[in-house]
């Protein structure tokens, strides 16, 4: 159920730090979160590494950034850069996103800077967060991974990424979008939206394509995203004879329009922490196919909002795709159920309520520790 937001207890001065290598889910989450927090009275400044390829896109989406030379985990000057930024902003708390930002923010805290919170967006080493007061995990799966690495459970709060229908909606007729890619109204279309990297499960998806096409030869597969596997996936499509059914669409800004035009979203990542694309599909009323691993089972309710398959099982992917593509009524029911679930579970009110509670807890603990240390010194 949605959590109704009450008045913000105390607006806080927050220094956000992010070190992105590309425009992806973590960056979009920051872009969408920041104006909502500012609207609640929080004063937020956002530091980003100066050479990030994501800067232009984040600025285009309306986020005000302060580029600084904080690249690399072996970068002693980053500590001084962040210390200066924290003083300039009079930051009460540092909220970091991605491992390099968290590593530097933790050291800043260790040397007397503001308490820091690390926003853990994936399966990563707990080492990068060893000096931070508290961690936010984007799924229970990510939290359990951190706990297995020795992070005390009470030092980590699960905070699923948020999105609302206002964040993600189509603006074009899906039939027009389909026609642009050679798909008719009744053409089965499978969409995959992700960076083209090994962990996203593209190999398994491409291995499933021939079996799907034997039953539904008109099916199209829209591959949205760019990355190192681009050439290799082209070669696989050529060798397996599926190239005519695959559309490599690259990086797109009209993802909502594309999502609205497909029938099924498939992202069989081997270990997805908590992909925003699953929520985007839900808000587009599309059923998802994903692997039963990582945080995917928290985003997709198997058999109700989508289908979960074992990892490294292209046969199961093909079977699941065929079961949804050949039963439009079932797909529509799943899509509607996924929309209703997403609005409640991944809404912004729940996200902001939890985040503000963590801010208050961290600041209260920091104040108590400071008083304790002062008494000991006296």
Q: Compare 374 and 139 and report the one with higher pLDDT.
A: 139
Stated pTM of the model = 0.91
**Cβ neighbours of residue 97 under 8 Å, at least 6 residues apart?**
16, 17, 18, 19, 26, 29, 30, 119, 121
pLDDT-derived band at 368 (thresholds 50, 70, 90) equals: confident
Q: What is the mean pLDDT of the chain?
A: 94
Structure tokens at 52: 């990030």
pLDDT tens, position by position, 145-176: 999 999 999 999 999 999 999 999 999 999 99
Helix or strand or coil: residue 213? helix
pLDDT-derived band at 72 (thresholds 50, 70, 90) equals: very high
pLDDT-derived band at 5 (thresholds 50, 70, 90) equals: low
**Cβ neighbours of residue 128 under 8 Å, at least 6 residues apart?**
73, 99, 100, 102, 103, 106, 118
pLDDT value at 255 more than 80? yes
DSSP per-residue codes, 287-304: -EEEESSTTHHHH--BTT
pLDDT value at 202 more than 70? yes
Rounded Cα distance between 161 and 30, Å, is 10
Rounded Cα distance between 202 and 199, Å, is 8
pLDDT tens, position by position, 287-331: 999 999 999 999 999 999 999 999 999 999 999 999 999 999 999
Q: State the pLDDT at residue 370.
A: 77
pLDDT value at 378 more than 70? no
């Amino acid at each position: 159920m949605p959590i109704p937001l009450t008045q913000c207890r105390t607006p806080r001065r927050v220094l956000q730090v992010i070190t992105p290598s590309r425009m992806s889910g973590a960056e979009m989450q920051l872009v969408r979160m920041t104006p909502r927090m500012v609207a609640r009275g929080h004063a937020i400044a956002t530091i980003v590494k100066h050479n990030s390829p994501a800067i232009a896109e984040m600025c285009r989406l309306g986020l005000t950034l302060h580029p600084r030379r904080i690249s690399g985990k072996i970068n002693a000057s980053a500590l001084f850069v962040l210390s200066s930024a924290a003083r300039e902003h009079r930051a009460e708390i540092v909220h970091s996103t991605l491992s390099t930002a968290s590593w530097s923010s933790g050291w800043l805290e260790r040397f007397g800077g503001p308490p820091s919170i690390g926003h853990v967006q994936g399966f990563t080493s707990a080492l990068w967060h060893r000096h931070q007061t508290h961690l936010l995990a984007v799924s229970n799966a990510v939290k359990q991974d951190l706990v297995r690495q020795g992070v005390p459970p009470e030092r980590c709060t699960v905070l699923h990424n948020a999105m609302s229908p206002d964040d993600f909606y189509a603006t074009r007729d899906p039939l027009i979008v389909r026609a642009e890619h050679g798909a008719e109204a009744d053409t089965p279309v499978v969409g995959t939206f992700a960076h083209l990297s090994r962990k996203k499960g593209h190999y398994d998806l491409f291995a499933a394509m021939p079996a799907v096409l034997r039953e539904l030869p008109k099916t199209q597969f829209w591959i949205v995203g760019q990355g190192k596997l681009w050439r290799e996936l082209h070669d696989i499509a050529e060798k397996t004879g599926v190239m005519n059914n695959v559309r490599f669409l690259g990086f797109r800004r009209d993802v909502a329009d594309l999502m609205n035009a497909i029938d099924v979203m498939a992202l069989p990542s081997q270990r997805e922490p908590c992909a925003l694309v699953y929520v985007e599909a839900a808000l587009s009323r599309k059923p998802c196919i994903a692997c039963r691993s990582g945080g995917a089972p928290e985003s997709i309710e198997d058999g109700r909002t989508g289908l979960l398959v074992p990892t490294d099982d292209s046969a199961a992917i093909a079977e699941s795709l065929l079961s949804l593509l050949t039963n439009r009524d079932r797909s529509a029911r799943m899509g509607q159920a996924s929309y209703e679930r997403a609005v409640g579970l991944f809404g912004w009110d729940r996200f902001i309520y939890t985040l503000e509670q963590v801010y208050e807890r961290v600041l209260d603990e920091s104040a108590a520790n400071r008083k304790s240390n002062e008494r000991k010194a006296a």
